[in-house]
């Protein structure tokens, strides 16, 4: 196999002029489709006077209004669907913490496109017919498991659909089946590795054959990835994969073996980066909120969907040979961004500061409170060696070191709490790093 196998060279290595021509043709077809089949879009497009024939260049997309999660919630469950039920072959939903979940539907053609999108990314990461892959995402309404499942089957991998949780069983199957690849959130991949190490006296690490991690669905700093790779050992190589249920699920973008950004399936997804406050489209390369138009999706079409995820896009060619643009790893969500005493704080910044300090584990929690008129941020970090809690001098020195490091990055005052090993919650799905108690009156139980 060559160093950089490419699943669909025709689409992944297209020259930009041809790609843009294809995007324009698909955009016009999509606008026409939305206009004719979804009342919600018809009304919006009519209001601004946009019809498909008025779109002459890709930049004319700017005349189309943005679509948001609120629009999906307001039209719950099927108000933005474009086809009758007998044309839908699948429904997924993302769990809303408040209000209605967002519901998405797929036509048969949508499922074919989705599998193709995922196939390209997992193949770029190194999965193929030699791969035995355990999918540790929850099967169900979440798009992660079934999305990866069909893409991995498409490239010929042997899929083991273990779903989330039951860590001991996961590890047993890994050892017994000779599993070579893992699909999980970064936090669960780390937890699995820690659990494997905890059991290493009974089941030595050499019994695991894992060499590839297809991680995604939540952020993972390069430092965190290094921790995951080190804990698995054996040359374990992890890639970052991005997507969201409104855009099919996983499959929008993912890293190749060069790992210098997440390749976007640009023939299916037209991306823009905007300023979340002014809503202006930013210049190429600038950092801001990602807005995506799903060019080929039909069950529930998406025109200029505001993802709330913060990133930038690099259009320069990649050493792997693909010409598709690459998204920077997600820096944070514009709505998860914590505003503390006027300063923007992303959990990923704290994560970068923590990793590399050998006395602490990679699990952490941010607790935000309001004291009087001021917001406070407590960073809870797990010690690796619990006996340090008895050695006050050393504990204090470590606390200060961590404090100074985070403070230097965030530029605001914080407190650091060092807690017992393994006392913070572990997650089999997306980790909940932030406990924001500002509207809850104040105290956090551990």
Of 82, 143, 324, 365, the one binding ligand DLL by CB under 6 A: 143
Rounded to 5 degrees, φ, ψ at 402 are: -65, -45
- With respect to ligand DLL, which residue has the nearer C-beta, 50 or 292? 292
Beta strands 132-135 and 181-184, pairing class: parallel
Cβ-Cβ contacts under 8 Å for 313 (sequence gap 6 or more): 264, 271, 273, 284, 285, 325, 326, 327, 328
Q: Any alpha helices (H) in 38-105, and if so which ranges? A: 39-48, 69-74
Range 247-266, binding ligand DLL (CB under 6 A): 249-250
Number of residues in contact with ligand DLL, rule: CB under 6 A?
20
Helix axes 222-232, 347-354, angle to 10 degrees: 50
Asked if 146 interacts with ligand DLL (CB under 6 A), we say: no
Residue 385 tokens, joined: 């060696």
Alpha helix segments (H runs only) across 38-129: 39-48, 69-74, 108-125
Task: Choose, by CB under 6 A, the member of 240, 272, 289, 375 that binds ligand DLL.
Answer: 240
What's the closest the beta carbon of residue 130 comes to ligand DLL, in angstroms?
A: 22
Letters for 37-56 (x = contact with ligand DLL by CB under 6 A, - = none) are --------------------
Sign of the alpha-carbon torsion through 242, 247, 251, 256: negative
Nearer to ligand DLL, 94 or 211 (CB): 94
The residue within the footprint of ligand DLL, chosen from 242, 305, 346, 364 (CB under 6 A), is 242
The reply on whether position 105 binds ligand DLL by CB under 6 A is no
Determine the interface stretch with ligand DLL among 44-52, 234-242, 314-322, 412-420 (rule: CB under 6 A).
234-242
Which CB sits closer to ligand DLL, 5 or 101?
A: 101
CB under 6 A: which stretch of 42-50, 141-149, 296-304, 366-374 binds ligand DLL?
A: 141-149
* Strand, helix or coil for residue 344: strand
244 is an interface residue for ligand DLL by CB under 6 A: yes
Question: Which helix (DSSP H) or strand (DSSP E) does residue 360 occupy?
Answer: strand 360-371
157 binds ligand DLL (CB under 6 A): no
| H helical segments located in 92-251 | 108-125, 143-154, 167-177, 186-198, 222-232
C-alpha distances out from residue 198 to 22, 182, 356, 429, Å: 52, 19, 21, 21
Under the criterion CB under 6 A, does residue 219 sit at the interface with ligand DLL?
A: yes
Which residue in 12, 218, 289, 382 binds ligand DLL (CB under 6 A)? Answer: 218
Q: Does 307 bind ligand DLL (CB under 6 A)?
A: yes
Please report how close the Cβ of residue 266 comes to ligand DLL at its closest, in angstroms.
Answer: 17
Distance CA 319, CA 13 (A): 12
Indicate which single residue of 245, 334, 365, 376 sits in contact with ligand DLL (rule: CB under 6 A).
245
If we measure between CA atoms, which residue out of 236, 244, 174 comes closest to residue 430? 244
Q: Which of 151, 213, 243, 347 binds ligand DLL (CB under 6 A)?
A: 243
Q: Which is nearer to ligand DLL, 30 or 247 (CB)?
A: 247
Residue 187 binding ligand DLL, by CB under 6 A: no
Q: State which residue, 309 or 402, has the beta carbon closest to ligand DLL.
A: 309
Which span sits near ligand DLL by CB under 6 A: 18-26, 68-76, 235-243, 296-304?
Answer: 235-243
Q: How many residues does the chain have?
A: 446
Hey, is 13 helix, strand or coil?
A: coil
| C-beta nearest to ligand DLL: residue | 216
Nearest residue to 13 (alpha-carbon basis) of 283, 314, 319, 327: 319
Residues that bind ligand DLL (CB under 6 A): 94, 142-144, 216-219, 240-245, 249-250, 307, 309, 330, 333
């Amino acid at each position: 196999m060559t160093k950089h196998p490419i699943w669909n060279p025709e689409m992944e290595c297209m020259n930009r002029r041809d790609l843009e021509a294809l995007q324009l043709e698909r955009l016009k077809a999509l606008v026409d489709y939305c206009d004719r089949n979804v009342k919600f879009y018809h009304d919006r497009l009519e209001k601004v006077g946009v019809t498909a024939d008025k779109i002459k260049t890709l930049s004319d997309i700017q005349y189309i209004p943005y679509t948001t999660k609120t629009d999906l919630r307001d039209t719950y469950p099927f108000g933005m669907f474009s086809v009758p039920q007998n044309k839908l072959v699948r429904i997924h939903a993302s769990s809303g913490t408040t209000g209605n979940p967002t519901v998405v539907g797929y036509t048969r053609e949508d499922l074919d496109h989705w599998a193709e999108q995922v196939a390209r990314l997992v193949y770029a990461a190194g999965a193929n017919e030699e791969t035995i892959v355990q999918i540790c995402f929850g099967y169900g309404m979440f798009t992660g498991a079934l999305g990866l499942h069909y893409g991995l089957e498409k490239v010929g991998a042997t899929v083991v659909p273990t779903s989330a949780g039951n860590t001991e069983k996961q590890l047993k199957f890994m050892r017994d089946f000779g599993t070579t690849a893992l699909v999980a959130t970064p936090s669960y991949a780390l937890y699995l590795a820690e659990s494997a190490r905890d059991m290493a006296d009974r089941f030595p690490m050499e019994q695991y054959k894992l060499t590839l991690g297809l991680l995604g669905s939540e952020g993972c700093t390069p430092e965190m990835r290094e921790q995951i790779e080190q804990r698995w050992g054996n040359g374990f190589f992890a890639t970052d994969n991005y997507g969201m249920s409104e855009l099919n699920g996983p499959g929008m973008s993912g890293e190749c073996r060069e790992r210098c950004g997440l390749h976007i399936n640009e023939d299916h997804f037209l991306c823009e980066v905007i300023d979340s406050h002014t809503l202006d489209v930013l210049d190429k390369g600038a950092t801001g909120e990602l807005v995506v138009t799903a060019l080929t999706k039909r069950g529930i079409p998406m025109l200029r969907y505001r993802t709330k995820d913060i990133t930038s896009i690099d259009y320069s060619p990649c050493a792997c040979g693909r010409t598709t643009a690459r998204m920077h790893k997600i820096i944070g969500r514009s709505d998860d961004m914590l505003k503390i005493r006027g300063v923007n704080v992303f959990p990923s910044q704290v994560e970068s500061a923590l990793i590399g300090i050998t006395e602490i584990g990679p699990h952490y929690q941010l607790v935000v409170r309001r004291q009087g008129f001021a917001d406070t941020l407590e960073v809870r970090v797990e010690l690796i060696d619990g006996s340090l809690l008895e050695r006050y001098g050393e504990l204090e020195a470590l606390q200060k070191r961590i404090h100074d490091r985070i403070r230097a990055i965030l530029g605001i005052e914080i407190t650091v709490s060092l807690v017992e090993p393994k006392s913070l919650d572990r997650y089999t799905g997306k980790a909940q790093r932030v406990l924001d108690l500002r509207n809850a009156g104040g105290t956090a139980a551990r």
